[in-house]
Amino acid sequence: MIQIFFLQAAAYGNSPTDYFPIGIQLIFAIILVGGIITLTHVFGPKRKTAEKLENFESGIESHGNARRPMAIKYFLIAILFVLFDVEVIFFYPYAVNFRELGWHGFAAIVLFVALFLSGFIYIIKKGALHWEE
């Protein structure tokens, strides 16, 4: 049986006064952001010329339509990168606490790797990593 570890609240109860400083900080942040946005809108320059309204990207003259379709392979590689990144995030707590987790933790990480590898093998068999078509 695999044990599931949950974070538990402290033995003493939480009271609303414990959250008062967080509430003050949240209210202060909302007022600060709203004030800055309002002040820049009121006091900022409002000179709209044709040159200022033109698209600008890294000093390169724009040409063509910005709405042309992009290859889906780019997005697929980006999603795979995120997937591998998340995998590393799940391995870190296990690597730090592998002695405390024991065989139950090892079984959980083996199950995770097996599921991840089965998805990766599916992606390879579907040809998702082949750029040439």
In 3D, which of 85, 105, 84, 86 has the Cα closest to residue 95?
Answer: 105
16-125, what's its fold?
A: Methane Monooxygenase Hydroxylase; Chain G, domain 1 (1.20.58)
Domain positions in the chain are 16-125
The stretch 77-103 carries a mean pLDDT of: 82
**How high is the pLDDT of residue 61?**
66
Tell me what the pLDDT averaged over the chain comes to: 79
pLDDT in tens, 43-54: 988 888 887 777
> Does the pLDDT of residue 125 top 90, yes or no?
no
Taking the whole predicted model, whether its pTM rises above 0.85 is answered as no
Do 76 and 128 meet the contact criterion of CB atoms below 8 Å apart?
yes
Lowest-confidence pick of 1-5, 48-52, 68-72: 1-5
At 70, list the tokens. 């992009």
